[in-house]
A and B are shown apart, each in its own frame.
Chain A
Amino acid sequence: MSELSTALVFWPGAVVMLAAGVFVFRTPSMTRAGLLLLVALAVEGLLFLALASQFLGVLQLLMMSAEMTVMVFFMVMYMPDPGGLMGMDMTHQKRTSTSFAVAVGVGLAVLAVVTDWPATTLPADAPDVRAIGFEVMGRSMFTFLFAGVTILFSMVGAVMLGERGGRFDLARPGDERRAEQETEG
């Protein structure tokens, strides 16, 4: 992508992403909050595409659209006020969190502006998606496998945690007596 087309996608995208990110925590409706997060992270995928990372951009769009749709269901399930019609206040330590977040966000942004970053223009023979395919079969194979195994472990852990009664099941009446009899016998 040329420099102009990158800028044409990046600037509106960045504005939409940041605005959606802010409104995630401002809207009273949980469904809307989940969908706004979907918008923020999907637009981030578009920014990846604009920044010449085709593989990551498409991956981000696919993963986040699925993940955030699932998230909306969880939001509706666990929220005391899923529709946002009761006008509940769902924030605490307002002043501390606002001032801390503004300080960190603006501080890091100022730091980014004043730092002298390396600047290279994208060469014409820059690696494309094809190079990523070779990379995954070469040096980065371990990283890729590691991500897969981590997903497997987390799936097992999440199922165990989410199971009714947890890892060791709920205590039932008579459990202690049975345990005593087992140790005696």
Chain B
Amino acid sequence: MSLTVVIAVAALLFGIGLYGVLSQTNAVMIVMGVELMLGAAMLNVVGFLRYAWPEAVSGSFFVLVVMTLMALEAAVGFALITSVFRNRRTAEVDDLTELQG
């Protein structure tokens, strides 16, 4: 067990989230991909807290802000999806092309 292992696992989790963001057609699923990417960021910071700077308590609050960001990103994302769904009756991103030139 070392920092390398934690960061490598976080990198793989980030890759999975990136796959979700790029490949999914539904906006709700894209939000889930972003959640996984932010989760990877948090795991990274926790790894650094454990293996590099155990005395840096304020690092926990950085993770706390990322965690808040995760919740807010989901809340505002769902509000946007709700707004889009009301107007267009769909949450599929492939159908939202009216700004395309």
Contact = CB atoms under 8 A, between A and B. Distances in A.
A164 interface: yes
A24 B57 contact: no
Q: Which of A17, A56, A143, A164 is the most central at the interface, judged by chain B CB atoms within 10 Å of its CB?
A: A56
Nearest to B87: A166
B46 to A, nearest CB: 5
A3 B1 contact: yes
Given A25-B29, A56-B63, A47 B43 contact: yes
Interface string A3-14: 100110010001
Nearest to A97: B22
Contacts of B10: 112
Given A118-B52, A132-B57, A157 B65 contact: no
Interface string B51-87: 1111101101111110110111011101111110110
Given A24-B36, A53-B46, A53-B50, A161 B11 contact: no
How many residues of B sit at the interface, in one of the four size bands? 35 or more
Contact of A90 (B6, B7, B29, B42): B29
Contact of B11 (A112, A140, A164): A112
How many residues of A sit at the interface, in one of the four size bands? 35 or more
A21 B16 contact: yes
A157 B79 contact: yes
Contacts of A109: 7-8, 11-12, 15
B23 A91 contact: yes
A97 B19 contact: yes
Contacts of A118: 3, 51-52
Interface of A: 3, 6-7, 10, 14, 17-18, 21-22, 24-25, 30, 33-34, 37, 40-41, 44, 47-48, 51-53, 55-56, 59-60, 63, 67, 71, 74-75, 78-80, 90-94, 96-98, 100-102, 104-109, 111-113, 115, 117-120, 122-123, 126-127, 131-132, 135-136, 139-140, 143-144, 146-147, 150-151, 154-155, 157-162, 164, 166
8 contacts: A25-B23, A71-B32, A71-B74, A78-B81, A91-B23, A101-B19, A105-B14, A157-B76
